[in-house]
Amino acid sequence: MPELWMPGAQRLDIGDHAPTDGGPPKALAHITWDVNATAKAPKDLVPYERLRSYFSGGGKATAPHVLWDPFTGRIVQFLPANSRSKSLADKPGGTRTNRAGKVVLQVEALFFPHCRVDGKVYAKLTDTPCEGWAELNAWVRSWGVPDVWPMGRPVDFASRRSESVWREQAGWYAHAHVPENDHQDPGSWPSFVGAEPEPEPPATGRPVVDLSKLIAAAEADPPKKGTPVSYPGVKVVEAALVKEGLLARSLADGHFGEATVDAYELWQRRCGWSGKAADGIPGKSSLTKLGKRRGFDVKE
C-alpha cells in the first residue's frame, strides 16, 4: 500500500480532506510564480518558509498536496494523497479537475522564471539543482501515476488543453494542460528518474531524432499503455505525424505502437514509397523529409 504521506516530507495537515472521483491517476506540475521577473531584472526567490506559512494559513483554499523546494530538496505536504486539493480552477458543472482521478497529486515547485538564489539567476526550473525530485517522483509513481506526459512534457509556457485526454489518460500534466484553467506554468520540469533524457534542441533550436533508436522502438513490441516511453524521440515524430493529419492526437503516447506504425506507413506512401518500402518502419529519407517539414533534425 503506498504511503498517504510522503516519506521524508514534513507533514503539515491543513484538514478539509475530500475524496477524488476515481479514474486514471494523475499528477500536476505547478510553479509558485508569485513574483514576475525578467532576464534583465531578476528578483530574489521568495523564502520557502513564507510559502509554507501561506499554504497552511491564509492560502489553504488553494494549497497543493506538496510544496517542493528544488534548491534544497525540502518538501512539505498539506493533504494526504487520497484527498483532492484545490489548486486547480474547477467550474461548477464543467470538467472535473481537482478530483479527476484515483489520485490527483498536485506538486507546487518553489520557483519563478529568472529568480535569484545566492547571487545566481535561474531562467527555468530545470536549471535548478532539482534536489528531492528523485524521492518525489518515486512517491508519485507509487500511487500508480505513470512516468508519461499525455499532452507532452512542458518545455515552454504554451497552453495545450484537451478535455478528452485529461479525462481518459493517466500521467503527469502541466497546469497549462488542464481544462478550465488559464495558467501557463510550469514552463519546464525535470526528466523522470531512470528515463532517457528528452532530446535537447541543438544550436538551431531544433530537436534531434536518432534514427537507429527510433527504428528499435518501432520494431519492438508496443509496451503496455502507461509504461515509460522506449525512446523520447518517438514523441517528436508522433507530434509531426499529428500535424500531418496522419495520427490522432489521443494516440500520440510516446510508444511507436501499431497506430504510429500505421500512421508512418501513410507518410511513406505520401512520400511515394509502396510495397515493402512502406512498412511503417522509419527510414532515413522519409524521416529526413518529415523533419524538414515539421522542424526536427535526424542523425544516424
251 vs 112, residue with greater confidence: 112
Domain boundary assignment for the chain: 10-177, 208-299
Bridge partners, residue 172, by sequence: 27
For residue 45, the tally of other CB atoms under 10 A from its CB is 22
Query: What does the alpha-carbon distance between residue 193 and residue 147 come to, in Å, rounded to a whole number?
Result: 9
For a pLDDT cut of 90, what percent of the chain falls above it?
73
Q: Which helix (H) or strand (E) holds 115?
A: strand 115-117
pLDDT at 225 over 70: no
Q: Nearest Cα to 282, choosing from 222, 220, 228, 237?
A: 237
Mean of the per-residue pLDDT values of the chain: 91
Fold of 10-177: Lysozyme-like (3.40.80)
Which of 65-74, 124-133, 200-209 shows the lowest per-residue confidence on average (mean pLDDT)?
200-209
Fold of 208-299: Muramoyl-pentapeptide Carboxypeptidase; domain 1 (1.10.101)
Q: Say which residues have a Cβ less than 8 Å from residue 102's Cβ, sequence separation at least 6.
A: 20, 22, 23, 24, 25, 143, 144
Q: Say which residues have a Cβ less than 8 Å from residue 118's Cβ, sequence separation at least 6.
A: none
Instruction: Give the model confidence (pLDDT) of 151-208 as tens digits.
Output: 888 988 888 888 988 999 999 999 999 999 999 999 999 999 987 655 544 555 688 9
Query: What does the alpha-carbon distance between residue 198 and residue 234 come to, in Å, rounded to a whole number?
Result: 10
pLDDT at 98 over 70: yes
Which pTM does this prediction carry? 0.69
Q: For residue 10, what pLDDT is reported? A: 98
Torsion region of 218: left, alpha or beta (phi above 0 gives left; psi -120 to 50 gives alpha): alpha
Q: Say which residues have a Cβ less than 8 Å from residue 49's Cβ, sequence separation at least 6.
A: none
HSE-up of residue 167 (Cα within 13 Å, Cβ side)? 7
pLDDT at 5 over 80: yes
Task: State the alpha helices, DSSP H only, in the chain.
Answer: 48-55, 133-142, 163-168, 211-219, 233-243, 258-270, 284-294
Query: C-alpha angle with apex 223: 162 to 138, nearest 5 degrees?
Result: 75
